[in-house]
Amino acid sequence: MVERFKPLRFSRAGIRGLKAAATVAINDRVHEMWAAGQNVYHLAFGESRFPVHPRIAEALGASAHKRSYTHPLGIPELRRAIAEYYQRRFEMDVTPEQVVVGPGSKSLIYSCLMALGEEVILPQPSWVSYAPQAHILGKPVTFVPTRPEMNYELELDVLEARIHESRHNWGNPEVFVVNSPKNPTGTVMRPETVEALAGFAREHELMVLSDEIYALTVFNSIPHVSISRFYPEGTVVFGGLSKSLPLGGWRFGTAILPPGNGGPALAHAISNIASNIWTCVTAPVQYAALVAYSGDPDIEEYIEVCRRMHTIRTRFLYQTMVRLGIPCAEPAGAFYVFPCFEKWREPLAARGVRNDQDLALYLLESYEIATLPGSAFHSAQDLCLRISSSYIDAATDERAQALLAAFQEDPDPDRFIVDHHPRLQKVAERFGEFIADLEQDVPYADHRPELAIV
């Protein structure tokens, strides 16, 4: 008998069929293990843990008395500051009217998915929340698979085929979500791919939602280029303070709307949504954001220091995968790597590991390593995991502060890892043990070719 919760009756809108994120199972288990006093190397977390810059913290404290509701799209001086910031940092021609702020970029992405078009086109893999947001809104999703050997870049022929297929089935794919640097793979789209995608989107009249929340965390091997540079009239660019600055919990995000007639119409729609749901971003946070976007050289330098620390920590994880022979696309931004374990399918199956969720739980139970299964990101390949460098060795405020101080004193990447990342090094060791264990009983005949022939 299905339990009823009279007088509560859950509505059709969005809730039915909305699955708990696979991330929840791992996180619940991590918390259980911690509560039992067990060790866990937490590589499932995706938030920057470095300290809050003192000038931004000070601005938040000083604004505590700002208690009135503000305009739903943000206070005018902040929208102006963000427009100027985008002009300077990203050489984008942005006016204050094009800037909208919201409680995290997540809510702004959701508002745009609500306001625009019908069917949503999503790359595979892509960030955990896009598909559930489309589900809540009752919008169908067309998934476009990408391949590790292509660095998870979208391929136009595959994109075209998926759109064609959807239209053939009476679908109406109109809203195209792109994300670079990308969660979960850490890969960055090459400028020529960005330009080609822009041409494709224009030709097919797609509205592009370009999630660029990791734009200031690139490793500088591939430059970050916004698709809005080539397709401004059809692109909304999302950003915020959650990744390049460690302020995820402050809930502050931005959207840069298209120039021309479309922008004001979309601003009007978002304003209507915001004013009826969250009203405005917490006023003191908006005043603190004014400082974050002021271009203060000290804050810009801090963003750069954080970027370099993320780069070193993430590249160490990537190099560990390479050293152990684990197939993994090379990250060029954010704090993620996305290794795949397909080549060990047999020895994994012998341990009862048949899919990526089993694999994530197995690594947690047997090697104390918490990761996220690729299926949480709708990965087109099985047995892949998302691994994040953001939490490890920065679990407490004191540790995070100590890491920052150590890096500022000596930015040498090797010494930064060797002298200040005991747990990250332990993670490399534990992955080594895991692979050695799998290799020991890879197909028996592989080790005894002569016997196999006999």
Which residues of this chain interact with ligand PLP, rule CB under 6 A? 46, 104-106, 127, 179, 183, 211, 213, 240, 242, 248, 253
Closer CB to ligand PLP, 183 or 311, in the complex: 183
CB of 225 to ligand PLP, least distance (A): 17
Q: Which is nearer to ligand PLP, 240 or 258 (CB)?
A: 240
Nearest approach, Cβ of residue 133 and ligand PLP (Å): 11
Q: Which is nearer to ligand PLP, 281 or 363 (CB)?
A: 281
The H or E element spanning position 350 is helix 345-350
In one-letter notation, the amino acid at residue 275 is: S
23-26 long-range contacts (CB < 8 A, ≥24 apart) are 23/128, 23/372, 23/376, 25/357, 25/361, 26/360, 26/361, 26/364, 26/370, 26/371, 26/372, 26/373
Min dist CB 278 to ligand PLP, Å, is: 12
Nearer to ligand PLP, 183 or 235 (CB): 183
User: Quick one: 318 or 416, whose CB is closer to ligand PLP?
Assistant: 318
The least CB distance from residue 222 to ligand PLP, in Å, is 17
The residues with which 145 forms a beta bridge, in sequence order, are 124
Q: In the 8-state DSSP scheme, what is residue 37?
A: T
| Torsion angles phi and psi, residue 144, rounded to 5 | -120, 110
- Cα distance between residue 53 and residue 429, in whole Å: 33
Q: How far apart are CA 124 and CA 215, in angstroms?
A: 20
Using alpha carbons, select from 112, 122, 234 the residue that is nearest to residue 173.
122
Which residue, 207 or 213, is less far from ligand PLP as judged by CB? Answer: 213
Q: How far is the CB of 297 from ligand PLP (least distance, A)?
A: 24
**CA atoms of 136 and 255, how far apart (whole Å):** 21
Which residue reads 């002298």 in tokens? Answer: 419
Contacts of 372 (CB under 8 A, 6+ apart): 22, 23, 26, 44, 184, 360, 385, 386, 388
Shortest CB 383 distance to ligand PLP, Å: 22
Single-letter amino acid, residue 258: P
Closest CA to 327 of 364, 374, 395, 286: 374
| Least separation in angstroms between CB 106 and ligand PLP | 3
Q: How far is the CB of 12 from ligand PLP (least distance, A)?
A: 27
Q: And the tokens for 5?
A: 């919760």
Nearer to ligand PLP among residue 378 and residue 434 (C-beta)? 378
**What gap in Å lies between CA 420 and CA 437, rounded to an integer?**
28
Q: Which is nearer to ligand PLP, 98 or 111 (CB)?
A: 111
User: Exposed (0-12), middle (13-18) or buried (19+): which is 55, by Cβ within 10 Å?
Assistant: middle
Residue 449 beta carbon to ligand PLP: minimum distance, rounded to whole angstroms? 46
Smallest gap from Cβ 211 to ligand PLP, in A, equals: 5
- Give whichever of 290 and 417 is closer to ligand PLP, judged by the CB atom: 290
End-to-end Cα separation, the chain, in angstroms: 59
Q: Looking at beta carbons only, is 240 or 339 nearer to ligand PLP?
A: 240
The Cα-based distances of 244 to 288, 339, 388, 424 in angstroms read 15, 24, 15, 21
Encode 224-272 in three state secondary structure. CCCHHHCCHHHEEEEEECCCCCCCHHHCCEEEECCCCCHHHHHHHHHHH
The residue number whose beta carbon is nearest to ligand PLP equals 104
What minimum distance in Å lies between the beta carbon of 112 and ligand PLP? Answer: 12
For tokens 């087109």, what's the residue? 380
Nearer to ligand PLP, 72 or 104 (CB): 104
